[in-house]
Chain A
């Protein structure tokens, strides 16, 4: 991060306050994920049956669930788990996808066709169903949610980086790098990858939101995270039983948490495009 980059970022944020808010939101999410468990007012897993199904009040900001647990404390504690799953899944698929995709896009030929086939097979699955099946097959554990989410994301990263590299592979500066004595591998790793990084970062941010939704969806149908672990998807699933009787807060607050988290990542993704792209710098 040079001073120029920071100045540029500040300039962008002034012109685009929404991105600033989103960045602040993501920062807040990270803080909550780190310090949340130590500052919550109630124990997120201890039940207090007499206090069950209380609507939101000053004592229980987000009400209580069927076992009398404080929903607000559970929401806060759940942040760490939901973020960890999303970040690690996206990280894994980004690293693998970017390297595989850019090699395919640059080299083309047989490797490209073979990987293309593999991606086709993967894409031919209804992706959410594939994730379901994988979590079920590998075992109902959190690591497996990460693996499943990473695998179903992989095709997007491969295709994306492949396309981005493919449009650049014949540009003058790529050929110039080779004329200046760089090997093909070094051209891909030192020239093409850094250039597609801004676009990839945007994708990653958007993808993080999607990964959060995906993990929550899996635990909503009972895969991956198991009760009584606090997690937004499970909380919605538990609340779903009471929606027909009007206990809205059990669904609304975890839903709102999911929405805010995803919104922050999405808005940040859009904003990042401007910050990281040096062509926008003046």
Chain B
């Protein structure tokens, strides 16, 4: 066969919404050769997933291809009837989705789901289908495949579910595999294992793969060619090395800069000319706290047990000086969230002591802590900006809330002034204060959440994955903002995150947690450059890196 396996020409996709037609993809042209791995990179709303769904004809009822051609093996597949197209799905092209657990039928054994896929395209007996399913489970390296055949998705881990999903997708040896954010939501170590497996299978079977992802590092590691999309348009197409070393399009430049790497510093994340006036504050390197400064936080063998289960966190001790920033890193189930909530005095520890500024606050029950004089000193920024704001409060009320409660202010001109100041400090335009959370973007919501947390000038700020739900370019701005606020107010940060690159940038020291215990702790850069424990090394190696030329890293 001559020509590429798949060629998308000037594709336009529109969705009909309550506010009329919205164009999600506006003229995308790209091609994939047999056996090639193409990365499709972009932030939310870039139209990268829609392009994938349009190719496999899985758009929602509201979505429609309005123009363009999708040529697969020389045939324009936008024009063939859906009955015929069904035979292409699975057999010629298939798809892997984000959130593997939801992508599998919860009440059907995985062996049956595999057999369903196989029997749709091949005329073989049920026993043969069963044998083929078993082979597939072996191919995706699932242990004890015979037993797993009768298991249901809820009995498997997220990584296992994604392997099953891969098995289903490759069940009929398609020529093209479209993987839509296949590892988003998985722990970083699982992510590496799944991606390695996917890459190996694709190479072994000669399948062309389109990897749709928001993660530049992931695309760099696994793809030969990367396409960058922004707002439904294709802005740049290049080989990874070239793209990351010398991006041409302004958007690619911004994206590459915003993606944290091993060597990036907070101030590099946003190009100089694009920093807002609020970020122009001088970034003075912070000196280490003078010896003899009293500890801000001193935690001694903290333990939390829920009901009768195993301890969510056991024997956790740490100290923090004023103005210091400490990272708390771990995968899901490591106990980092529980620990952060205890330090915030939102839940009670089962055992252990928390000293703040030399006073024991661990013994004040969480339900009475709102009356404690230290309440305003310890504040928190939450993970998901969508869930961290009261849907019935507008921006102003959200920020005014702690001022009224903890700052003992009364509604009036003084309060309005204070709220506006806080908004200004986080770079939130004053006219947005009247808006309700659902009218704000993710980044704006994150700013409101930060403004609320700093309104009463706390001394310790707990940040619970503050940027995990944000796009990288927004994350870059928010991280810079946080870093500036810390320097200005001499705030201490307890930065909870799963993203090692972010922690490395933001924190002086880092504590690595696993299964409710401390694995390793130390000065951030030193620890990540030279991990002492196997687990930390595994974590560090699992992070997909963009290898940048040293000259560029220093600018």
Contacts and interface: CB of A to CB of B under 8 A. Distances in A.
Complex A–B touching at CB under 8 A: yes
Interface of A: 171-173, 175-184, 191, 194-195, 278-279, 281-282
Interface of A is mostly: helix
Given A176-B388, A278-B436, 6 more contacts: A171-B387, A175-B382, A179-B380, A181-B376, A182-B405, A282-B19
9 contacts: A172-B449, A176-B452, A181-B376, A181-B406, A182-B370, A195-B391, A278-B391, A278-B436, A279-B391
B352 interface: no
A278 B438 contact: yes
Interface in B375-407: 375-376, 378-380, 382-384, 387-392, 401-402, 405-406
Output the residue of A173, A178, A183, A278 with the most chain B CB within 10 A.
A173
B111 to A, nearest CB: 34
Contact of B346 (A171, A178, A181, A191): A178
Output the residue of B392, B406, B452, B453 with the most chain A CB within 10 A.
B392
Interface of B: 18-19, 341, 344, 346, 367, 370-371, 375-376, 378-380, 382-384, 387-392, 401-402, 405-406, 436, 438-439, 449, 452-453
Contacts of A182: 370, 405
Nearest to A279: B438
A111 to B, nearest CB: 14
A183 B370 contact: yes
Nearest to A181: B405
A97 to B, nearest CB: 21
Contacts of A176: 380, 382, 388-390, 449, 452
B36 to A, nearest CB: 42
Contacts of B406: 180-181
Contacts of B367: 183-184
Contacts, number: 73
Output the residue of B18, B376, B390 with the most chain A CB within 10 A.
B390
Given A181-B375, A279-B438, A173 B405 contact: no
A277 to B, nearest CB: 9
B379 A179 contact: yes
A173 B370 contact: no
A172 B370 contact: no
Contact of A180 (B18, B341, B371, B401): B401
Contact of A172 (B376, B383, B439): B383
Contacts of B379: 179
Closest 8 CB pairs of A and B: A172-B388, A172-B382, A181-B405, A180-B402, A181-B406, A173-B390, A172-B387, A279-B438
Contacts of A171: 387-388
Contacts of A183: 367, 370-371
A54 to B, nearest CB: 53
Contacts of A281: 436, 438-439
Contact of A181 (B370, B383, B387, B436): B370
A182 B369 CA distance: 9
A184 B346 CA distance: 10
Given A172-B382, A279-B438, A281-B436, A181 B402 contact: yes
A177 B346 CA distance: 10
B386 to A, nearest CB: 8
A191 B390 contact: yes
